[in-house]
Amino acid sequence: MEMKSIPFGITDWTEVQAVEVKGETGTGYWKTLEFNNINVHMVEYSAGYLADHWCYKGHILLCVEGELHTELKDGRIFTLTPGMTYQVADDTIAHRSSTQVGAKLFIVD
């Protein structure tokens, strides 16, 4: 990830418009800012959310609130709680998210 030509700035996430994204179950609310080729997201998943696809995109993800389960295509499952992160490169292993209680995430990809 190369971070060039991004001026200093601050973001009040309460002012960023959310996009509703339906999962296989539950709903995600994605707030996204794009800085050249870098996307920064604040995401909230409802209780009972399960992603409707396997993702191959690389991310750095921080769990801000709640609890997030990340299932890898090989069957492993990891649980993130507030203050925990995961990081994965593009095209390394498919993963998908779920939460029983809801989760708020900060994601850079």
Distance from C-alpha of 62 to C-alpha of 80, rounded to nearest angstrom: 8
C-alpha closest to that of 59 among 28, 96, 31: 96
pLDDT above 90 covers a percentage of the chain that reads 92
pLDDT at 4: 85
> What value does the mean pLDDT take over residues 53-74?
96
User: Token match 């801000």: residue?
Assistant: 64
Handedness of CA 21, 23, 25, 28 (dihedral sign): negative
Alpha-helical (H) ranges within 9-107 are none
Q: Categorize the per-residue pLDDT at 3 as very low, low, confident or very high, splitting at 50, 70 and 90.
A: confident
pLDDT at 63: 98
pLDDT at 26: 98
Long-range contacts of residues 9-14, Cβ cutoff 8 Å, at least 24 apart: 11/40, 13/42
C-alpha closest to that of 19 among 3, 34, 9: 34
Average pLDDT, the chain: 96
pLDDT at 53: 95
Tokens of 79: 């649980």
Q: What domains can be seen in the chain, in order of their start residue?
A: 19-108 (2.60.120.10)
pLDDT at 91: 93
Q: Is the pLDDT reported for residue 2 higher than 90?
A: no
